[in-house]
Amino acid sequence: MEKLLISDLHIVLVEPSDTQRKIITTLLLKEKVKEIDSVSTLAEARAAVRSHGADLVVSAMYFEDGTASELLKFIKEDPQYSSIPFMLVSSENRLSKLEELKQAGVAAILPKPFEPLHLSRALNASLDLINHDELELDLFDVREVRVLLVDDSRLARNHIRRVLEGMGLEKIQEAENGATALTLIKDEPFDLVVTDYNMPEMDGRELSEFIRFNPETSHIPIIMVTSEAADSVHMSNIQQTGVNALCDKPFEPTEVRAMLAALLGE
């Protein structure tokens, strides 16, 4: 299938402010986007997606009839639309408010105001989710790499799975927490573990410690996916458990591709 370019994207822009809609539309046009459906409410956004579909939804956080979280949930829980990337554009900086969107698989988060460079990067990250580009490995057939994906959020697992499948990985098993993951690890071999940090019952740090300090599993590369700040106390503790790579949410394909090439190419 021919790959989409930024100029091929059909974008649904959801923004309650007339001024902000004009600003964002102008910046999108400068990036060579040609097809933009602009709406101001969640109801109009749902109607636009149902009527015309979309390659990408670009949305503000707050509306008179709800929040971006509700729109993202509408998209991700409907099989017909679940593969549509979702980009948040918001001045919201409270971690608790952004966490829900990160867990649900938002493709990119842009602050208000944002620089054109940030928009370009976010658009390219969204394209990476749409265009499948198989990862080439010297030591593995990427289709045979056995992956254990661990995250308590079903929507987050769906998003990460789509990113991995877009790179050609097919053998992906899922677990909703570290305890369930341990059961799987004890019963069958894996070539890679991709795990969230914050989970009930057993978190990503505890799971990583078990994998790294058990002779039968110590060789398995571990990617930790987290929305924690890189300089937080939790992150410094995690790095001491032998995690091979830390990946921020949103789970960006370009970053993940480089990590996989390094970890599985060794």
Mean pLDDT of 29-47: 97
Q: Among 3.40.50.2300, 3.40.50.12780, 3.40.50.1980, 3.90.1300.10, what is the CATH number of 6-130?
A: 3.40.50.2300
- 144 pLDDT higher than 90: yes
Q: Which one has a higher pLDDT value, 152 or 250?
A: 152
Sheet with strand 171-175: strands edge to edge: 171-175, 146-150, 192-196, 222-226, 245-248
Arithmetic mean of pLDDT, 198-208: 90
CATH number of 142-264: 3.40.50.2300
The average pLDDT across 178-195 equals: 94
Per-residue pLDDT at 233: 57
Q: Is the pLDDT of residue 217 over 60?
A: yes
Helix (H) or strand (E) holding 23: helix 18-30
pLDDT of residue 97: 85
Task: Give the model's confidence band at 235: pLDDT under 50 very low, under 70 low, under 90 confident, else very high.
Answer: low
Q: What are the residue ranges spanned by the domains of the chain? A: 6-130, 142-264
What is the structure's pLDDT at 5? 94
Helices 116-130 and 253-264, packing angle to 10 deg: 60
Q: Name which of 43-52, 73-82, 228-237 the model is least confident about.
A: 228-237
Q: pLDDT grade, residue 187 (50/70/90)?
A: very high
Q: Do domains 6-130 and 142-264 have the same CATH topology?
A: yes
Q: What would the pLDDT profile of 95-142 be if each residue is shown by its tens digit?
A: 888 888 888 889 899 998 899 999 999 999 899 889 888 888 887 889
Separation CA 188–CA 48 (nearest Å): 45
Q: What is the pLDDT of residues 51-71, one digit of tens each?
A: 999 999 999 999 999 999 999
